[in-house]
Structure formats: C-alpha cells, structure tokens
Amino acid sequence: MTEQVETARPRAVPGVPSARRWSNEKILGHVVMVFWALAGAGLLSYMIRDFNPEFMDRYGIKFVSGFIVTIELVGLSLLIGAILSLPIAAMRLSKSRLFGAIAYGFVYFFRGTPLIAQAFLVYYGAGSFRDFFSDIGIWWFFRDPWYCAVFAFSLNTSAYQAEILRGSIQNVARGQWEAASALGLSKPVIFWKIILPQALIVALRPYGNEVVLMIKGSAIASIITIYDLMGETRRAFSRSYDFQAYIWAAILYLVMVETLRRVWDRFEARLTRHLKR
C-alpha cells in the first residue's frame, strides 16, 4: 500500500509555489512587460523620428496655455461646487421631507446624466431663453462658453461633493453626537468641532477621486469651444494632422492626474497619521 503511494507520480498541487523557476505566471508577466517596453520604445522612437520642430514652435506655447486653462477651469468649478455642496448636503441631511426631496432630485439629475449632456443643456439650451435672459440682463453670462462650462461643471461637482459630504457625515458614529451632547456642548459646536473633522478624514479619499474625475471630465469643455488642454490639442491636430498632438496631451493629462494622486496620498497619510496602528 505504502509502496503504491510512493510510486504514484506527485500531482501538481494548486496553490503551492511551483518548484519550477519559470512558472507560467512569471513567463506571462515578463511577456507583457516586454510588450509594454516595446510599446514604450515604439512610441518614443515615433516621437523622435516624426518630431516636428515647427509643430513645437507653433503649438508648444498653446499647450501650456491650454494646460493652465484646464487647471483654472477645474479649480474654479471645484471651489464653487464645494460652496454649493454645503447647502445641498445640509438639505439632504435635514429632517424636512421637502428639502430632502429637492436635494435628492438635484443630486440624482446631475449624477444620472452625462456631463457632456449637461454642458450642452447649459450652453446650447440657454439659447432657447435668449429673450428672457436678455431682459433680466444675464445673457452675457450664458453667451460665453467659459461661464457656461464653469456653471455646468460647478453644478455637476456640487452634486457629487454633496453626496461625499453627506455620506461621510452619516458615517460618523451616533455615539459621537451622544457623547458630545452628554458633555453639554451645543449642536453647532458638536457639528463643527467633533463631527465635521472626523467626517472630512473619511471624505478625503473620495474628494481626491472627485478632483481626478473633474480633471478628466473637464476635457469635455473642449467640445463647447473652450481652448483648454483638450481644446488646444484638437485645434493643433485639425490644423497640422500631426498625431503627436494627442500623445502630448495624453502625457500632460497623465502627469497631471498622477501627480495629484501622489500628492493626495501623501496629504492623506499626513492627515491620518494619528490613526495609524
């Protein structure tokens, strides 16, 4: 009996590290890495071989200005959105059913429809009310694509930020409210000094994601004729038919998003260092 067991060929046991030096996974991993390396090298050689100094002369500065426009657009929208998100989150959290329903409708609309449709609705849709807007003297605002983009993006991000804020405030344990009121603190003091600081720590990560989403989403502004990074890229491509325009844009967006992600991770690690175990 024992002999039989010993002579039976050992079957490869799954889950146990293989004794082979080159497991299938290792081979696959290296093959894919070689593919990435080749793709990177191919891209680099394409960028060098087809490098057009004239293109850089003419459009290099445009890319920089587009980059700045993108940052301005995102920064401004996020700021306005943050301010708008406060009353919306408060309404969502309020006991009043009416306020809750209004805020829920607002949030549902802006989270459930594409940003591009919202931008069109504001920029082109404002034309339907031209006479009315002219009469009350705000037509200058809706005539300008820049204001329309900021308007649409601010409302959009305010809906997302309100949800982040609401979720993180509700996430703070009830015991925190009870303990604070047992100490005789007033409601505003409890909210500002005890609940909000804890909520914001929870909210840090989703806020970071929202900033990244906003940077990526802002590319849509190019469609309503704003010359942000994407807009400048499309203009450069349509005039020069040089595909490198898109590669440069990709590099700039990746650098922007990756830098932000890294900085935000540092920032978060720093702010939550007292929670480390």
Partner 1 sequence: MDEILTLISFGPNGWGDEIASGILITITLAIATLPFGLILGFLLALAKKSDEPSLRAAANIYTTIFRGLPELLTLFLVYYGGQIILQQVFRLIFPDAQIEVNSFVAGMVALSFVFASYASEAFLSAFRGISLGQYEGGYALGLSRIQTMRLVILPQLIRLALPALGNLWLILLKDTALVSVIGLSDLIRQAGIAARVEKEPFLFFGVACLIYLGLAMISSIGITLIDNWSNRGEVRR
Q: How many CB atoms lie within 10 A of CB 243?
A: 10
Shortest Å distance, C-beta 140 to partner 1? 18
Comparing CB distances to partner 1, the nearer of 7 and 238 is 238
For the stretch 217-227, what's the b/e string if a residue is b when 16 or more beta carbons lie within 10 angstroms of its beta carbon?
bbbbbbbbebb
**CA atoms of 82 and 93, how far apart (whole Å):** 16
> DSSP 3-state assignment of 169?
helix
Residue with smaller CB distance to partner 1, 42 or 197: 42
H or E segment to which residue 201 belongs: helix 196-217
User: And the tokens for 113?
Assistant: 């429809």
Q: Give the max Cα distance, the chain.
A: 99
Q: What angle do CA 139, 213, 146 make, to 5 degrees?
A: 20
Give Cα 268 to chain centroid, integer Å. Answer: 16
Q: Which is nearer to partner 1, 25 or 274 (CB)?
A: 25
Cβ nearer to partner 1, comparing 67 with 253: 253
H-helix segments, 94-195? 97-112, 115-123, 130-135, 139-143, 145-171, 174-182, 187-189
Q: Name the site residues for partner 1 (rule: CB under 8 A).
A: 13-15, 17, 23, 25-26, 28-30, 32-33, 35-36, 108-109, 112-118, 120-121, 124-129, 215-220, 222-223, 230, 233-234, 237, 243, 246, 249-250, 253-254, 257-258
Distance of closest approach, residue 13 Cβ to partner 1, in angstroms:
7
Q: How far is the CB of 184 from partner 1 (least distance, A)?
A: 37
Considering the complex, what minimum distance in angstroms separates the CB of residue 164 from partner 1? 14
* Shortest Å distance, C-beta 74 to partner 1: 11
Shortest distance, position 174 Cβ to partner 1, whole Å? 19
Smaller CB distance to partner 1: residue 88 or 224?
Answer: 224
- Closest distance of CB 98 from partner 1, Å: 21
- Residue placing its CB nearer to partner 1 in the complex, 14 or 184: 14
- The tokens of 190 are what? 């409890």
DSSP symbols for 71-108: HHHHHHHHHHHHHHHHHHHHHHHSS-HHHHHHHHHHHH
Closer Cβ to partner 1, 186 or 241, answer by number: 241
